[in-house]
Chain A
Amino acid sequence: MHEKTLFQRLKSPKGITGLAILCFFIFIAVAAPFITSYSPADVSSSPLLEPGSEHPLGTDDVGKDIFSNLVYGSRTSLMVALLVSFGVLIIGTLAGVFSGYTGGNLDRVMMRGVDIFLMIPDLPLILILAAYLSPSLWNIIFILILMGWPVGARITRAQTKTLRVSGHVDFARVSGAGNWYVIKKHIIPDLYPIMITTVVMQSIRAILSESGLAFLGLGDPSYPSWGTMIKYAISYPLVFFTDAWMWWLMPAGLCITLLVLSFVLVGQALEGDK
């Protein structure tokens, strides 16, 4: 299970589809200012316009361009996914390797702490914290990392514990290797597959949680978000009586679904599904 096979696994139809969708969204997020000329917060257009040459997806009830909100929303989603997944990865891996490698009483104490974190139901706590702290994107990222790292730590620790007593680690020790060398050369490389899965799973969780919180009104109003778009579209009373849902509500939902789907496909491809 070295890097070469991981790369080969991504070459399956699922992996290519997932990567293509993901790259599409990354491209949109990076090139946002060139794709649309409106700022997502610009309310100067007339409200509730139907799609036309000026506004490809029309405008919403306060006169914002829906298409530019959609484009800039991908930035928010991808940023949250990136920061949360890497935050969880780094903290979880460090804690897991440290706990599993040290062993003994320290390991026991740390794992009981992790157990407590794992017992707390995620969503209610996120809701409470998001409501209690000011609604800012950084707070959401912080909460998602806080609730996510114990999962990573647990898996990493289990793997570290089995690796610690394996033959190749014993051999390195006999040859005179120190702890740092063993961790760097024998434990971390063996954790790559787990790390990649962690990044994928945590990205999915982050995207869905961010959209969900934004939908509930606990998002950051200064960042355009697909969840916020759905929330405003649904709270507009006439959205289902006209055709407005087709260009106002549906694209945002579709984007969330597609982005999550891309991560799921990449994850499944990496796990070896064809």
Chain B
Amino acid sequence: MDDFWLIKIDNVSKVFKGRGMFRNEPEVKALDNVSLTVKKGEVLGIIGESGSGKTTLGKLILGLLKPTSGNISFADINNNSTENRKPLVQVIFQDPYDSLSHMMTVEQLVAEPCIINNGKNVDRNRIIRALESVGLTPVESFLRKYPHTLSGGQRQRVAIARAMISEPDMIIADEPISMLDASIGVDILNLMLDMKERTGITFLFITHDIAAAAYISDNIAVMKEGKIVEYGSRKQIISDCCHEYTKSLLLSATGAGTENEYFCSEF
């Protein structure tokens, strides 16, 4: 895999100001001078406890939030060497119950990114292919279903199909398996790895589960209290980490026993 960078995050900070009418509530520093480079074609795992700012980082890259200071730059991509464009970033959210509008059918949900960008005419075959690629078969039986008739795993598959259909250069997966059963979570992780193999897509995998991150990621960044405390390849982080916090995360993951079988089998 070539070592070109896709996204460079440069000294980014994000502060949430306290909003009180009479007294000012304390400011929350969600991100504190974070610098990170996402390389093209890699799976970058970001792990950390809740409140460590990993979701904020994802939202900043997506453009849903504006950084207080610092800069996020995107690489220019030229496939046909004629025109440069910004990399297309898509997202898979944590909560598959909240992220799919319950007023739309699966077909409408998956078609949505295309409709937003290209107007009304969407190639139906493309939707069918996208659903097939995430393993929702037979596709015909799913097209007319509403999300509330689907299981959590199926919903998350719809969310992946929806993110993949616009052929993005990068997908930010914000804790995609934390609301799913362990076994279904592994299926989703395998699906994501499979996607990466086939399309060479870049993944930013945000999680609190170091075992899942170790299973899927090429490189791992460990976050704590808005800072990146450790960054390295998977091997480095798992076998010879130096930071106390990473050690405690690893200890809790291995200590949990059989629950994390995919972690144990890797190492």
Contacts and interface: CB of A to CB of B under 8 A. Distances in A.
A175 B98 contact: no
Nearest to B159: A171
Interface SS of B by simple majority = loop
B164 to A, nearest CB: 12
B256 interface: no
A162 to B, nearest CB: 10
A133 interface: no
Interface residues of B, number: 21
A166 B112 CA distance: 16
Contacts of B253: none
Nearest to B89: A174
Contact of B101 (A176, A181, A186, A192): A186
Contact of A175 (B99, B102, B116): B116
B117 interface: yes
Contacts of A185: 101, 112
Contact of B117 (A1, A168, A175, A189): A175
Interface SS of A by simple majority = helix
Interface string A151-172: 0000000000000001110111
Given A174-B90, A181-B116, A167 B166 contact: no
A171 B92 CA distance: 8
A190 interface: yes
Contact of B64 (A166, A170, A176, A190): A170
Interface string A180-198: 0100011001101000000
Contacts of A189: 101, 103
Contacts of B90: 174-175
B101 A190 contact: yes
Most interface-central of A171, A173, A176, A185 (chain B CB within 10 A): A171
B177 to A, nearest CB: 15
21 contacts: A1-B103, A2-B103, A166-B99, A167-B93, A167-B98, A168-B99, A170-B93, A171-B93, A171-B99, A171-B162, A173-B63, A174-B64, A174-B90, A175-B117, A176-B116, A176-B117, A185-B101, A186-B101, A189-B101, A190-B101, A190-B103
